[in-house]
Amino acid sequence: MPATLEIYAFLKGRPVNKHREILPLTGLRFAAALIVFLFHIQLQYSVFDTPFIRKIIEQGAVGMSIFFMLSGYLLMLNYCNSESNLKDYFINRLARIYPVYFVAGLVTLPWLKIGLGDTGLEMITGSAKAIFIFISNIFVIQAWFPQLFSYWNNGASWSISVEVFCYAILPLAIPALNKLSRRGIILLIVGLYFFSFMTGLSAKLYDGYGTPIFYAMPIFRLPEFLIGACTYLIVKNWPTIKRAWIFQLFAALGLASYLGIIGGWMPLYIGHNWLVIPVVALTIYTLSTDRGPLVWVLSRSPFVWLGKISYCFYSFQALTLMLLATYHTQITSSFPILENGKALTLAAFIFLTALSAAGYYLIEEPARRAIKNQWPAKSSLKIADAVN
């Protein structure tokens, strides 16, 4: 659909559907990106004062679990029985994420601060650090090095490194997942669930390891991705649960209440996975199979359109927040109303949405098409046969 027609549909509130897209899941992508955005704003400016709301927003990093589980679900949907081959698959993944990822890193280069020091040895060490950071980011492996978490754009791009790892694992996992019985699917989900839960619990019980390892290292986020993939197998192979949206609604309210009361008592955000994972899985299941108020809301064209630009919305959050931090005094002196945290949040949201729309139509989509046209796939090895 041309950009002008998509924007027209957005303004008119009409459903937007291309091919077999599950519209509520597209809307859910934006909801997850928005949760993470509010979380980052709250970290920087303490916008929300009401204790219950503040505690929920301060745990907004749980939105990353939505991203990983949704990614697993959608990729399993698209590729579990696909005629696509391995080359197609990896070209599609590269075309989908790398152009925006590259630009998001490029525009935040001014905030890469590595001291080169005064002595020759210090300059060599500083230069080696810079080269190491660049290489790890170019090959999207930075999340495997916890020391890099606080450098440059890594606080935002670590999740792309996790995604790339999950992309690499999926072709190996699909043949095994497709062979699972219903009992096997349940046992795998239970095993993955307990692995993820125990990771967060260990951070509560023992000191010494923090966010860059348990929260951001790819191996510890893989269970969420695979549970998302297994959720698709349940949707595909099991009878649909009628009125599942009612259960989902109460589960979501329960999660919000839990976060609003418990807050940060469980550490590293993944400490909440014991509840977050089943609620997110139920939400994805409901949005894929059922009707209900949430399905209706997330299927409206504003949410669908925002879902389409959600990757840019997430990727350019770091730039937006860095600009706010750098020029906050000038911005608030020019626009005193923005001294109010909620007004500043709204202004940042509008700016980021406009930037994301530009990124989607001018970078993400054109680059995706160009890459796919430049490297047409010719391999005959199908994903489902990757390890057979």
Instruction: Say which residues have a Cβ less than 8 Å from residue 227's Cβ, sequence separation at least 6.
Output: 69, 72, 189, 192, 193, 196, 277, 281
**Nearest CA-CA partner of 300 in 30, 2, 93, 107:** 30
Per-residue pLDDT for 237 more than 50?
A: yes
**Nearest CA-CA partner of 302 in 121, 94, 31:** 31
More confidently predicted of 22 and 83: 22
The confidence score (pLDDT) of residue 388 equals 43
Count, residues in the chain? 388
d(CA 7, CA 352): 17
Average pLDDT, the chain: 90
Per-residue pLDDT for 386 more than 90?
A: no
The answer to whether residues 101 and 257 touch, using CB atoms and an 8 Å cutoff, is no
d(CA 275, CA 197): 9
The confidence score (pLDDT) of residue 300 equals 96
The confidence score (pLDDT) of residue 377 equals 64
Helices (H) and strands (E) in the chain, counts: 17, 0
The confidence score (pLDDT) of residue 8 equals 38
Quickly tell me which residue has 């945290």 as its tokens: 341
Q: What are phi and psi of 180, to 5 degrees?
A: -70, 140
What mean pLDDT do residues 330-357 have?
97
Per-residue pLDDT for 200 more than 90?
A: no
Give Rg (Cα) of the chain.
21
Per-residue pLDDT for 115 more than 90?
A: no
What mean pLDDT do residues 238-251 have?
94
pTM of the complete model:
0.91
53 to 48, 303, 379: CA distances (angstroms): 7, 23, 51
d(CA 186, CA 234): 9
The confidence score (pLDDT) of residue 28 equals 98
**Domain limits, the chain:** 3-108+156-385
67 to 83, 159, 187: CA distances (angstroms): 25, 9, 23
Does residue 290 come out as left (phi exceeding 0), alpha (psi in the -120 to 50 range) or beta?
Answer: beta
The confidence score (pLDDT) of residue 383 equals 59
pLDDT digits 0-9 by tens, 345-385: 999 999 999 999 999 999 999 999 999 998 876 654 455 55
The answer to whether residues 244 and 290 touch, using CB atoms and an 8 Å cutoff, is yes
pLDDT digits 0-9 by tens, 260-283: 999 888 888 999 999 999 999 999
The confidence score (pLDDT) of residue 3 equals 52
- CA angle 230/233/237 to nearest 5° reads 150
Percent of residues, the chain, with pLDDT higher than 90: 72
Quickly tell me which residue has 């001018």 as its tokens: 362
The confidence score (pLDDT) of residue 149 equals 87
d(CA 319, CA 332): 18
pLDDT digits 0-9 by tens, 6-29: 443 444 443 444 445 799 999 999
